[in-house]
């Protein structure tokens, strides 16, 4: 198998390490490169950052921070209870309990290596293992709790470096009829939207269905159904069953999605070379937009100090001279500075009257934000985005 680098996005910090000071003495940086794996068609980072550096007791992201995510998890929980009538469920990467809390009536268990988050769900009386997902941990959990009807994991499997061990640990934890549901950003959508900000330290991989199919070839799991989601800028919800369970049919839609990926060129290296060219163009166009507004002496704020935006800011060299400050609704980010770019983050209390330009860090919540900011837009306020191409809206 060949591993081929197709894009070098330069030097980047850990997206989750929001700073307490504008001028840190030392900041960990690594080279963010993107790699194409010729045999599995997997797209990964060139170099992985140590999990202990990224997932610690100060982890900032809260799944409950957005209304969109809160209602998406509630809707999914209701539908899973209705369709599968599970007696037991395990969530890998249970964050602040936004999903798993909906299963209080059955055996619901969380796995969450970030201690500050695991503490939240423990306080909610949800049995939570404050550990990384490994085969060893899965054996301990099965010994203490038995096998599971459902294992669910949203925006987590793409963070785990050893995929073979991850899938094997899931397989041994499921009942024969059990299912595993994975939700992660879709590579196809990232390529279509030119959203290169899906790549950052935590996202060791951005999965295509094609790669997931290839990766599980040597495991006891196989995909039987896929749903397309709008969350996180376009995600796949992928349902796996055990290969030994012959009762479940493989959905036609999944086969169609696989062929859509093939038609788009997801298997070809040339697709990624073209993506790399588009990303470089996007950088130049975005910088020109910022420069023009700043030359007119206007304020530009950032809306949502997301992990994704860290890739854009650091790749494009957008620092405090381009973005005056970020507004965000996540309390742990208030009063901090964005990693690498050192831009202050303030608590969102509405967009101030003197602001006319806001860079959409949380572009994946565009609809929710535009609804919330009707007054700002009515008064002539504009948003800047780089997705799918740099422009002012």
Least distance (Å) between residue 160 CB and ligand TYD: 16
Nearer to ligand TYD, 158 or 216 (CB): 158
Least distance (Å) between residue 310 CB and ligand TYD: 8
The SS3 of residue 216 is coil
Nearer to ligand TYD, 40 or 338 (CB): 338
Nearer to ligand TYD, 308 or 386 (CB): 308
**How far is it, in rounded angstroms, from Cα 168 to Cα 94?**
20
DSSP string, 6-27: EEEEEEEE-TT--BSSSS-S--
C-alpha dihedral sign at 348, 350, 356, 360: positive
Angle between helices 307-316 and 269-295 (to 10 degrees): 80
Least distance (Å) between residue 200 CB and ligand TYD: 8
The SS3 of residue 279 is helix
Least distance (Å) between residue 29 CB and ligand TYD: 19
**How far is it, in rounded angstroms, from Cα 371 to Cα 373?**
6
The SS3 of residue 42 is coil
Element (H, E) at 74: helix 67-84
Nearer to ligand TYD, 65 or 211 (CB): 65
| ω into 388 cis (within 30 of 0) | yes
Sheet holding 88-92, edge to edge: 127-129, 107-111, 88-92, 148-154, 174-185, 235-242, 221-229
Element (H, E) at 224: strand 221-229
Nearer to ligand TYD, 149 or 184 (CB): 184
Binding site for ligand TYD (CB under 6 A): 61, 65-66, 304, 306-308, 328-330, 348, 362, 364-365, 368-369, 372
Least distance (Å) between residue 304 CB and ligand TYD: 3
Least distance (Å) between residue 228 CB and ligand TYD: 18
Pairing between β-strand 107-111 and β-strand 127-129 as defined by DSSP bridges: parallel
Query: Which tokens go with 239?
Result: 């349902």
Nearer to ligand TYD, 304 or 344 (CB): 304
Name the residue with tokens 């919800």.
237
Least distance (Å) between residue 233 CB and ligand TYD: 8
**Residue whose C-beta lies closest to ligand TYD:** 304
| CA atoms in the 13 A half-sphere facing the CB of 142 | 18
Nearer to ligand TYD, 97 or 304 (CB): 304
Based on C-alpha coordinates, what's the Rg of the chain? 21
**How far is it, in rounded angstroms, from Cα 55 to Cα 323?**
27
Least distance (Å) between residue 366 CB and ligand TYD: 9
Nearer to ligand TYD, 224 or 348 (CB): 348
Nearer to ligand TYD, 364 or 385 (CB): 364
Least distance (Å) between residue 202 CB and ligand TYD: 8
Least distance (Å) between residue 376 CB and ligand TYD: 12
Taking the CB of residue 68, how many other CB atoms lie within 10 A of it?
Answer: 17
**Are 10 and 33 within 8 A, CB to CB?**
no
Looking at residue 50, the DSSP 8-state letter turns out to be P
Nearer to ligand TYD, 41 or 61 (CB): 61
Nearer to ligand TYD, 194 or 219 (CB): 194
Least distance (Å) between residue 307 CB and ligand TYD: 4
The SS3 of residue 293 is helix
């Amino acid at each position: 198998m060949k591993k081929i680098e197709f894009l070098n996005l330069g030097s980047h910090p850990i997206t989750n390490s929001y700073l307490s000071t504008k001028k840190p003495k030392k900041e960990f940086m690594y080279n963010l490169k993107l790699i194409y794996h010729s045999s599995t068609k997997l797209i990964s980072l060139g170099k992985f950052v140590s999990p202990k550096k990224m997932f610690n007791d100060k982890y900032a992201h809260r799944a409950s921070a957005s209304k969109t995510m809160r209602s998406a998890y509630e809707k999914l929980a209701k539908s899973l209870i209705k369709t599968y009538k599970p007696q037991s469920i395990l969530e890998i990467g249970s964050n602040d309990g936004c999903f798993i809390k909906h299963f209080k009536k059955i055996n619901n268990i969380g796995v969450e290596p970030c201690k500050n988050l695991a503490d939240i769900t423990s306080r909610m009386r949800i049995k939570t293992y404050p550990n990384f997902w490994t085969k060893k941990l899965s054996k301990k959990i099965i010994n203490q709790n038995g096998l599971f009807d459902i294992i669910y994991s949203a925006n987590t499997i793409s963070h785990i470096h050893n995929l073979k061990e991850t899938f094997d640990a899931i397989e041994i934890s499921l009942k024969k009829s059990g299912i595993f549901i994975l939700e992660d950003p879709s590579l196809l959508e990232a390529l279509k939207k030119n959203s290169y900000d899906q790549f950052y330290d935590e996202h060791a991989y951005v999965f295509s269905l094609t790669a997931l199919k290839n990766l599980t070839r040597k495991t006891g799991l196989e995909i039987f159904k896929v749903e397309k989601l709008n969350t996180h800028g376009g995600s796949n919800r992928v349902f796996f069953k055990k290969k030994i369970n012959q009762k479940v049919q493989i959905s036609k839609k999944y086969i169609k999605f696989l062929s859509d990926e093939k038609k788009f060129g997801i298997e070809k290296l040339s697709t990624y070379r073209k993506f790399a060219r588009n990303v470089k163009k996007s950088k130049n166009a975005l910088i020109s937009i910022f420069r023009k507004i700043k030359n007119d002496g206007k304020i530009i704020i950032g809306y949502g100090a997301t992990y994704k935006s860290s890739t854009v800011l650091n790749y494009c060299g957008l620092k405090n001279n381009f973005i005056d400050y970020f507004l965000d609704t996540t309390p742990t980010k208030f009063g901090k500075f964005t990693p690498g770019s050192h831009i202050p983050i303030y608590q969102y209390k509405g967009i101030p009257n003197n602001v006319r330009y806001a860079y959409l860090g949380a572009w994946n919540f565009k609809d929710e934000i535009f609804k919330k900011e009707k007054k700002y837009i009515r008064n002539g306020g504009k948003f800047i985005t780089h997705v799918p191409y740099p422009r002012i809206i």
